[in-house]
Amino acid sequence: MVKSVVHAYPWDLVGDPEAVKRYQGLGVDAIALAASYHTVRAATPLHPSHRLVDARHAALYLPVRTANYGRLVPAEPSWMDGSDSFGEAAALVRAAGLPVYAWTVLTHNSRLGDLHPDVTVVNAFGDRYPYALCTSQPDVVEYASVLVSEVLELGAPDGVVLEACGPLGFFHGGHHEKTDGTDWNAVQQKLLSLCFCSACTALYADPDALRAAVRAGVDRGAPSVEEALGALAQDVQAVRTGVVRSLRKRLVGEIRAAAPSVRVGMHVTADPWGTGPFATVAGGLDAGLDVLTTMCWPGPDVAVPGIEALRAVAGDTRIAAYVLGLPPKPADGAALTEEWLAYVAAGVREFHLYHGGLASAARLDALREAVAAVSRQL
């Protein structure tokens, strides 16, 4: 039974003969390796050859077979040697006897957004989010489908972790974010996440009225999305959740057909207005997922209500907590254990650790202590 999974990047393992041993020493049951990932500047504090990796754009860490894609084609990572760093890292994991999960980011891709702005999310004010591919766009759906198919065929993973299986929104944006001074609250950010690209606009019953309602709700600080949208809220929510559900059903169905034994997990939220790495599952899963991973970085006060809301949607599907071992969390195993046990009490049965390669030795020690403690409770 899977109780814990640690996340890592291919560059954390490639060139470091001790990396897998470190991760295995945490007591985890599998390693989730990034197969497709967005822009990141990542520290590698324990790697023998480097201390930083600058992944300058979103990339696929498996061979890019351009002819298999449609209009949207992922980029290769120029900062890695060779075209299959995922495969190289995965081989090290398998040699140690651990399963490999392909951590696959779908719609968070600023490079493709820059090249193809017409498939990105547009807010009610006409501002585009170049990092956010919109899943109402057929080209984006096709891209996600081919990407997952390629990861399965070329990477042959034991499991797949799908991240951003839905549109991103206002949050999770630029490299040097300068938006905090607006004091936009969670409701305003959700309103700014509603998309008005050509495909989304065609789905709304009254896009002009909706655009006006969103703008007014942002500027006056509406108390809820529903209050801001009024009579339009039900239709918009059905459109948003329906588009994400359609993509989820398609991808999971294709995975099941191509690789029935592969364990399928997804980053999700029960919030019907949720966008970003954790796609909404409000209104029902309608897909045969093995595990639903939910964001728990903010701590129990925020995460436990989210877990409880997800349980109402999940049915018998296993729930995993996405937990943080990096700042602002302390390098303190007892503190992490106390937090994680609150998630066990709320119904979590699995922990996904972020992040093996970014963590110092002291933080790995803290994660090891917490993994051991919660494993005894699961």
Residue 26 CB partners (closer than 8 Å, separation 6+): 4, 6, 353, 356, 364, 367, 368, 371
284-194-321 Cα angle (round to 5): 45
Sign of the CA dihedral running 11, 13, 19, 23:
positive
| pLDDT value of residue 130 | 94
Q: 291: helix, coil or strand?
A: strand
Backbone phi and psi for residue 263, each to the nearest 5 degrees, phi listed first:
-80, 130
The model's pTM: 0.95
Q: 7: helix, coil or strand?
A: strand
Tell me the domain boundaries of the chain. 4-375
| pLDDT value of residue 44 | 95
Nearest to 364 by CA among 339, 332, 342: 332
In whole angstroms, give the CA distance from residue 296 to residue 294.
6
Q: 215: which 2 tokens?
A: 């703008």
Residue 352 DSSP symbol: E
| pLDDT value of residue 126 | 97
Q: 214: which 2 tokens?
A: 């969103």
- SS3 helix, strand, coil % of the chain, rounded to 5? 40, 20, 40
Nearest to 271 by CA among 187, 376, 198: 187
Residue 360 CB partners (closer than 8 Å, separation 6+): 45, 46, 331
Backbone phi and psi for residue 194, each to the nearest 5 degrees, phi listed first:
-70, 130
CA distances from 76 to 73, 95, 120, 162 (A): 10, 25, 21, 19
In whole angstroms, give the CA distance from residue 376 to residue 292.
21
In whole angstroms, give the CA distance from residue 45 to residue 6.
16
Residue 333 CB partners (closer than 8 Å, separation 6+): 365, 366, 367, 368, 369, 370, 373
- Strand 40-43 versus strand 52-55 pairing type: antiparallel
In whole angstroms, give the CA distance from residue 271 to residue 177.
24
- Does residue 38 have a cis peptide bond before it, meaning omega lies within 30 degrees of 0? no
CA distances from 176 to 79, 180, 243, 346 (A): 21, 11, 30, 36
Burial of 250: CB neighbours in 10 Å, binned 0-12, 13-18, 19+: middle
Helices 300-314 and 333-346 cross at an angle (nearest 10°) of: 30
Which CATH code is given to the segment(s) 4-375? 3.20.20.80
The answer to whether residues 183 and 216 touch, using CB atoms and an 8 Å cutoff, is: no
Q: 287: which 2 tokens?
A: 């897909």
pLDDT of the chain along its 378 residues, tens only? 889 999 999 999 999 999 999 999 999 999 999 999 999 999 999 999 999 999 999 999 999 999 999 999 999 999 999 999 999 999 999 999 999 999 999 999 999 999 999 999 999 999 999 999 999 999 999 999 999 999 999 999 999 999 999 999 987 655 656 566 767 899 999 999 999 999 999 999 999 999 999 999 999 999 999 999 999 999 999 999 999 999 999 999 999 999 999 999 999 999 999 998 999 999 899 999 999 999 999 999 999 999 999 999 999 999 999 999 999 999 999 999 999 999 999 999 999 999 999 999 999 999 999 999 999 998
The answer to whether residues 228 and 185 touch, using CB atoms and an 8 Å cutoff, is: no
| pLDDT value of residue 179 | 65
Q: If residue 184 lies in a helix (H) or strand (E), which one and from where to where?
A: none
| pLDDT value of residue 178 | 59
**Within 10 A of 291 (CB to CB), how many other CB atoms are there?**
21
In whole angstroms, give the CA distance from residue 21 to residue 347.
30
The answer to whether residues 114 and 61 touch, using CB atoms and an 8 Å cutoff, is: no
